């Protein structure tokens, strides 16, 4: 860091400001986490210099002996962690991983069946502004109005009607476990590839606290930076029969040279995930998410589906008469970072939204437990109902002081003890 500070104080200063920001607030973005210093060290390494197009022992560049070892370790660890036949650790991100899965199994114009974005899916699941919506004929299922959980009967009916090439399960705002067996049966009935985008919950699978999609799905794609707590990036695991197709789709179909510093960071993270400490972390993530959802519910900020089985919950703010957009701004001004989110059948436009999404990965990494989730719910409720988005509002100041006390007791990236 001293070299950066000397050469480019502007960027160095911004890195410090961002670390300060991450330390100062309560971080409840469900897709974020605080990766370990060991992963950060891998990311900031000279592996970033190396071109390594291809795969271990079959590269298009010389000098790959060391990075081959890195990638082999990452692949072996991913296979062991998820009990998978095959792993590709090269996707630069979750969206790149998804692009490769489409590339492997579908051609432009093919039909895919996925969860709609406004019910909890993801942009890359056939939303019209994404490549996936432009290149494929995307048909979408959603949640049932009464349970607010995936409408499996609708999935089956749409699959039979449209005979998709791919059936995709997973998304960005799904608080409940997904019934992989049911999806598998539906996919088999219509002869479709069954793909799970496990970006959000794969860390809970790694920690063995929720069921794994790996035995059921043809393909599982994921990001490595959410609950999993690794570097920003993507990966794919699959059955042996699909291995060659997936590898060829990642490179050379969709990507060029892999980011070897990221691959090293993934290897470090996969090893971390196989420790008892990580399994305990994953369980605490679940406990904290349930506690936070329950405590917000007690304040009339209702969790969609009535609660959560995962690291995130989605809340309907209509009980307190505030929009998602206002709630996000009010919480932000009070030192609580979360995001507005459309809820199923939302009467508001997506940029206003009736809901918020909260997640427990970051606060759990900081060592908080269920008791602190009660405190956080109280602070969210006060910020949402008693402030107006002005950071100088007296109640916002008061909440920020309480946030400060909490994050001082449970710091992000604690300073090493002096001496």
Catalytic residues: 51, 53, 197, 223, 226, 232
Cβ proximity to ligand PLP, 93 vs 305, nearer residue: 93
The length of the chain, given as a count of residues = 419
Q: How far apart are CA 247 and CA 261, in angstroms?
A: 19
**What's the closest the beta carbon of residue 366 comes to ligand PLP, in angstroms?**
21
Distance CA 73, CA 193 (A): 28
Least distance in angstroms from the C-beta of 61 to ligand PLP: 26
Distance between CA 348 and CA 39 in Å, rounded? 40
| Beta carbons of 172 and 187 less than 8 angstroms apart | no
CB of 386 to ligand PLP, least distance (A): 31
Q: Under DSSP, is residue 61 helix (H, G, I), strand (E, B) or coil?
A: coil
Cα-based distances in Å from 41 to 1, 108, 172: 11, 40, 28
Task: Confirm or deny that 122 is annotated as ligand binding.
Answer: yes
Q: Quick check: 379 and 26 in contact, CB under 8 A?
A: yes
CA atoms within 13 A on the CB side of 331: 27
Nearer to ligand PLP, 167 or 406 (CB): 167
Nearer to ligand PLP, 94 or 164 (CB): 94
d(CA 56, CA 131) in angstroms, rounded, equals 30
**DSSP string of 330-383?**
HHHHTTEE-EEE--TT-SS-TTT-SEEEEE-HHHHHTT--HHHHHHHHHHHHHH
With beta carbons less than 8 A apart as the criterion, state whether 199 and 170 touch: yes
- How many C-beta atoms surround the C-beta of residue 69 within 10 A? 12
> Is 262 flagged in the annotation as binding?
no
**Least distance CB 222 / ligand PLP (angstroms):** 8
CB nearer to ligand PLP: give 82 or 334: 82
β-pairing verdict for 193-197 and 219-223: parallel
66 is in an annotated binding site: no
Asked if residue 123 belongs to a known ligand binding site, the reply is yes
- Closer residue to ligand PLP in complex, CB, 94/175: 94
Q: How far is the CB of 372 from ligand PLP (least distance, A)?
A: 25
Closest residue (Cβ) to ligand PLP?
Answer: 94
Where along the sequence are the contacts to ligand PLP (CB under 6 A)?
Answer: 31, 93-95, 98, 122, 124, 170-172, 197, 199-200, 223, 234
3-state secondary structure of 193: strand
Residue placing its CB nearer to ligand PLP in the complex, 197 or 328 = 197
Cβ 57 to ligand PLP shortest distance, Å: 28
Q: Which two tokens stand for residue 244?
A: 């060659």
Rounded (5°) CA angle 374-380-384: 150
Residue whose token pair is 């890359």: 124
Rounded to the nearest 10 degrees, what angle do helices 370-386 and 394-409 cross at? 160
In the annotated binding site, the residues are 117, 121-123, 240
In the annotated binding site for (6S)-5,6,7,8-tetrahydrofolate, the residues are 117, 121-123, 240
């Amino acid at each position: 860091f001293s070299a950066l500070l000397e050469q480019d104080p502007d960027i160095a200063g911004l890195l410090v400001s961002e670390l300060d920001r991450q330390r100062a607030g309560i971080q409840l973005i469900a897709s974020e986490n605080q990766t370990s210093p060991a992963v950060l060290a891998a990311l900031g390494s000279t592996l970033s210099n190396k071109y390594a197009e291809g795969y271990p022992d079959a590269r298009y560049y010389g000098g790959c002996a060391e990075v081959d070892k890195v990638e082999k370790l990452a692949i072996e660890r991913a296979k062991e962690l998820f009990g998978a036949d095959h792993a590709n650790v090269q996707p630069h991100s979750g969206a790149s991983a998804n692009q490769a899965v489409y590339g492997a199994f579908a051609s432009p114009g093919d039909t895919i069946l996925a969860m709609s974005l406004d019910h909890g899916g993801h942009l890359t699941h056939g939303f019209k502004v994404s490549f996936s919506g432009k290149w494929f004929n995307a048909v979408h299922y959603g949640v049932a109005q009464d349970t607010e959980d995936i409408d499996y009967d609708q999935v089956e009916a749409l699959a039979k009607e449209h005979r998709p090439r791919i059936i995709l399960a997973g998304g960005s705002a799904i608080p409940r476990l997904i019934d992989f067996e049911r999806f598998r049966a539906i996919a088999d009935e219509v002869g479709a590839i069954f793909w799970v985008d496990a970006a959000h919950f794969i860390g809970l699978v790694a920690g063995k606290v929720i069921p794994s999609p790996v035995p059921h799905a043809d393909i599982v794609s994921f990001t490595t930076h959410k609950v999993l707590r690794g570097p920003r990036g993507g990966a794919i695991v699959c059955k042996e029969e699909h291995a060659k197709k997936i590898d060829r789709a990642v490179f050379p179909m969709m990507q060029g040279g892999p980011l070897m510093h990221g691959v090293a960071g993934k290897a470090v993270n996969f090893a971390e995930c196989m420790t008892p400490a990580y399994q305990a972390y994953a369980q605490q993530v679940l406990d904290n998410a349930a506690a936070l959802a329950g405590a917000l519910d007690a304040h009339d900020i209702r969790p969609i589906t009535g609660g959560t089985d995962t690291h995130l919950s989605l809340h309907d703010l209509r009980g307190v008469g505030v929009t998602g957009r206002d709630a996000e701004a009010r919480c932000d001004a009070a030192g609580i970072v979360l995001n507005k989110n459309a809820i199923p059948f939302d009467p508001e436009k997506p940029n206003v939204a009736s809901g918020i999404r909260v997640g427990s990965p970051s606060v759990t990494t900081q060592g908080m437990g269920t008791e602190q989730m009660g405190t956080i719910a109280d602070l969210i409720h006060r910020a949402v109902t008693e402030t107006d988005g002005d950071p100088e509002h007296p109640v916002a100041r008061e909440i920020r002081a309480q946030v400060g006390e909490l994050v001082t007791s449970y710091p992000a990236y604690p300073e090493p003890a002096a001496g």
